[in-house]
Amino acid sequence: MADGADALWVAGGDGSLAVVAAAAAATHGLPFVCVPAGTRNHFALDLGVDPHDVLGALEAFTGGIERLIDVADVNGRLFLNNVSLGIYGEAVRSPGYRDAKMRTLLETAEKVLAQAHRCRRCDWLTIWGASTSISRLCSCRTTPTRSIAR
């Protein structure tokens, strides 16, 4: 980029695309070409790029239409079109998720819900993620005290 790149591209999934989009758009103001080669290709689908036509995606270099997109940041990590939070967010970060999605999702739900607490006064449910240690207050401003799962 320091030598004068006109655009950046990457063949990959949503996570890889977000990293290059951050370098291209956010940092250097360059156009970014999305070449879908990931598992889900949510971003490419949202743009109308056929994830089964990788060669067709490369046509953006010669005949593509430039569009501005929004990017956002959650906890220092850039995302393009979606972000996963809560139980699903915990599950997709787990090493076993790709090979055993349903099992990993159920195991993660069990771990997360085991840390859930319900307030005695207002019945507000507070759930701490498996990798989160944030203390939260319920709607009546008391600390959750009763565990709902063991």
Calpha distance 148→115 (Å, rounded):
8
Decide: pTM greater than 0.75.
no
- List the pLDDT tens digit at each of the 150 positions of the chain: 667 778 888 889 888 888 887 767 667 888 888 899 988 888 888 888 898 998 888 888 888 888 888 778 777 777 787 777 778 888 888 888 888 989 998 998 888 777 666 666 655 555 554 444 334 445 555 544 433 443
Alpha-carbon dihedral of residues 77, 80, 86, 91, nearest 10 degrees?
-80
Q: Are 11 and 35 in contact (CB under 8 A)?
A: yes
